[in-house]
């Protein structure tokens, strides 16, 4: 069980530009997190050290860290930022995520890698929200970012329309490391805005670990969603 109590964590978060009531609503019950996927859940649904939303899935990262569950004010904020980037809020959420990553006994990371967008989506949106969140993590923790470390080599179907097994198949082989990038033996933190099934972040972690030879791969997200298989 991850121990993150309000008394210590909120004091550390006072500088990130988000008020205490919002932080408390966003983070939920910090005492009851799945130690693997970081979903906030009651203790009685954790089975064999993992919750019933991530057990049974082979996920290639060592651990996930999230600000909170994808609900309420956190969900509304993420949806707002996806539609129209709010740089200040995205940076502040990135800094808050950085605080929580460090509180989870994370090692110092050698590189922070945001999940890339396909060029068509990047052209329509004109920004990559994951990259802005990663910049907030960098400002908080000082770990270097490599925004060009990953490439999305083919367009994928919209994950939200697929079942969990279909999501894993949809992203298989969709990512590769940039030519000349060396992550062998390095500790990598992959950043995205939301994780639901974990399919995208697991596939990226597989590439970083199996193809790149990374020593450790953690993932950090603003919001942790959950859905049935």
Mean pLDDT of 184-190: 97
Q: How confident is the model at residue 198 (pLDDT cuts 50, 70, 90)?
A: very high
pTM of the model as a whole: 0.89
pLDDT at 228 over 90: no
| Predicted confidence (pLDDT) per residue in 22-67, tens digit | 888 898 776 678 888 888 876 555 556 678 778 777 899 999 999 9
pLDDT of residue 47: 58
Strands (E), the chain: 46-47, 50-51, 63-69, 111-114, 150-152, 175-177, 187-195, 216-224
Q: How confident is the model at residue 145 (pLDDT cuts 50, 70, 90)?
A: very high
pLDDT at 77 over 60: yes
Mean pLDDT of 145-166: 87
Mean pLDDT of 74-78: 94
Long-range contacts of 44-51 (CB under 8 A, 24+ apart): 46/1
**Which domains does the chain show, CATH number per domain?**
57-224 (3.40.50.2020)
Distance CA 150, CA 117 (A): 10
| Predicted confidence (pLDDT) per residue in 79-135, tens digit | 999 888 778 999 999 999 999 999 887 789 999 999 998 656 654 666 799 999 999
Enumerate helices (H) and strands (E) in the chain, giving the number of each.
Answer: 8, 8
pLDDT > 70 in the chain, percent: 84
């Amino acid at each position: 069980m991850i121990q993150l109590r309000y008394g210590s964590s909120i004091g550390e978060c006072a500088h990130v530009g988000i008020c205490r009531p919002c932080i408390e609503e966003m983070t939920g019950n910090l005492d009851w997190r799945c130690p693997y996927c970081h979903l906030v859940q009651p203790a009685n649904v954790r089975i064999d050290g993992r919750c019933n939303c991530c057990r049974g899935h082979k996920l290639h990262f060592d651990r996930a860290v999230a600000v909170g569950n994808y609900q309420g004010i956190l969900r509304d904020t993420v949806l707002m930022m996806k539609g129209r980037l709010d740089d200040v809020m995205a940076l502040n959420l990135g800094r808050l995520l950085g605080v929580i990553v460090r509180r989870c006994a994370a090692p110092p990371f050698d590189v922070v890698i945001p999940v890339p967008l396909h060029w068509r989506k990047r052209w329509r949106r004109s920004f990559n929200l994951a990259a802005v969140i990663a910049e907030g993590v960098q400002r908080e923790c000082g770990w270097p970012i490599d925004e060009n470390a990953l490439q999305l080599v083919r367009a994928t179907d919209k994950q939200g329309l697929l079942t969990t097994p279909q999501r894993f198949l949809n992203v298989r082989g969709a990512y590769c490391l940039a030519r000349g990038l060396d992550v062998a033996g390095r500790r990598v933190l992959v950043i995205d805005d939301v994780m639901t099934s974990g399919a995208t972040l697991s596939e990226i972690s597989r590439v970083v670990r199996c193809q790149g030879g990374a020593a450790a791969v953690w993932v950090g997200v603003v919001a942790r969603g959950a859905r049935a298989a």
